[in-house]
Amino acid sequence: MLTTHIIDDVVARALAEDAPWGDLTSELLIPEEAWASARLEAREPGVFSGGAVWEATMRRVDPRIRSALLVDDGERFEAGAVLATVEGPARGILRAERVALNLVQRMSAIATETARYVAAVAGTGARIVDTRKTTPGLRALERAAVRAGGGHNHRFSLSDAVLAKDNHLAVLAQQHGGDVTEAIRAVRAQLSHTTHLEVEVDRLDQIEPVLAGGVDTILLDNFTLDELRAGVALVAGRALVDASGGVTLDSVGAIARTGVDLISVGALTHSVRALDLGLDIGLPEARPAAPPARP
């Protein structure tokens, strides 16, 4: 999902927001010919994400900026690690600095938090999955960060799969005389064989009618641990079981041990704190001389 087109679009909009008519401070204080180098350093440990975004930001501001990534997406690092270096026109580096840092700090924070959740369910077979609770306009970046942390993506958008929640079912059931099974069958009949169908339930007695409708995944929302175990037993492999609702790092391990297949965690993207990364710029130097022209 994280294509060059998406990255360039996000970066272009972010730079236009940050400097719509240029960087007034740098243009007044920094000589046009000033050259600088800088290092992207970690001030706390984490998991890196956003290398392509970092490079695209520097490149869009000034193609003369040379950036070298020293870690790969998904790679762990310690505090003090140098994650990337840049060299080029000082004005360009200064203009790109905040946008590049904002995006990579957020992506690395999501990757780091996801890795914690993945570690907490290790050995259970449960997958950690993100949700649509993402920052508007940044979903593709945040979803890529989840993957960098070892997690998995749920449907990308409302256009990609059917996920019927309680409000959908309440309206749909009215159209079928309260028969949820028949309502789901009617939905299934309209879908192609490649389209995934997931239905949310919030009570154990809803599981059988939903399964009878022919779902691929059943979402057990805000179930207790005992209810999750009972729900997994009722489903008995007839569909994937997804658990959601208030999942935290403290609770996710116990949820995974109930036997669910998926655990949807909105906190991966809606509640992270930006990872502390910094760009330390060296003193401006004279721009390197151009090589002599060929005779």
The residues annotated with a catalytic role in the active site are 98, 133, 165, 200, 221
Q: What angle do CA 201, 117, 246 make, to 5 degrees?
A: 35
Nearest one of 207, 203, 274, 281 to 239, comparing CA atoms: 207
Tokens of 14: 């972010």
Buried-exposed string 77-86: b where 16+ CB fall within 10 A, e elsewhere: beeebebbeb
Q: Which helix (H) or strand (E) holds 174?
A: helix 166-174
Q: How far apart are CA 4 and CA 53, in angstroms?
A: 9
Tokens of 140: 């593709």
**CB neighbours (10 Å) of residue 254?**
13
Tokens of 279: 């760009």
**CB neighbours (10 Å) of residue 189?**
8
Non-local (6+) Cβ contacts of 119 within 8 A are none
Answer yes or no: are the C-beta atoms of 115 and 45 closer than 8 Å: no
Tokens of 17: 């927001």
